[in-house]
Amino acid sequence: MRPHPIWIYARQIARWKTLSGDLTTRALVVDLEDPVLAPLLDLAPTPRDIADERGKLAGPRKYFLRRRALLRKLVSLRLGCSPADVVVTHDADGAPRVVGPDPSIFVSVSARESFAALAISDAPVGVDIEFAGPPTEPLREVLHPVERVEMEKEWRSESRVTRFLETWIAKEAYLKALGTGLKRDPATVAIGFDRFGTFRVADDARPAFRAAGLWDAKIMGEKFVYCACVALDGRPVHGLPE
């Protein structure tokens, strides 16, 4: 089982000078309106960036080029190259892919309005971000039978709603790391929560396989943001202390 990820936040990113030679996973969540990020976002878009922004799978378009600039900057720090040399595109499902100069780097991006979660790794990685919203009852059809039993133990409705949101983002992050997204039935994946925001993934389709991930809940500006990250293989995940 892979060690758990650690989140990194905007002011830590701004202090990075190089990640070259670092083969571990970095996962981060940012508000792209944060002025601290300005030096990392001042990057001319490539023709591929502009074409992807105009495509159907661009996500929240207002911030697409900022997300792409930050992702290219992180990849350049990892590879020790110029951001101008980094080329990123997305696949048929909209997932980002590094195509140059080193296509062996794995990345994942999730966005809501100006907020974005990004991950970069030497292994398949998935990340998801959601906002806390009005309380709604969990959708039983997306829960694994084991999760349904656990959800019933959350006798207070507010606890059940929170646990469902945490479960959902963990599932989405894992399915992104697999490369299937919601083409896979999320009810075939079970999430088990540990202490300190970590979780375990059990997959009915891969009974001998286990994955580990991290979820977080953080107030950022006026938003209460939930995020989750899973890396499937590779070396231990490291981050900087907040």
Q: Which residues of the chain carry a pLDDT beneath 70?
A: 1-24, 57-60, 135, 155-156, 233-242
pLDDT (0 to 100) of residue 234: 44
pLDDT (0 to 100) of residue 87: 93
Residue 152 belongs to some domain of the structure = yes
Token pair of 149 as six digits: 């039993």
Range of the domain at 213: 7-231
Q: What is the CATH number of the domain that holds 162?
A: 3.90.470.20
pLDDT (tens digit per residue) in 125-163: 999 999 987 767 778 899 999 999 888 877 667 788 888
Mean pLDDT of the chain: 82
- Model pTM score: 0.86
pLDDT (0 to 100) of residue 11: 60
pLDDT (tens digit per residue) in 68-86: 999 998 898 888 889 999 9
Residue 2 belongs to some domain of the structure = no
Residue 68 belongs to some domain of the structure = yes
Token pair of 233 as six digits: 């293989």
The H or E element containing residue 117 is strand 115-121
CA gap 200, 193 in Å, rounded: 6
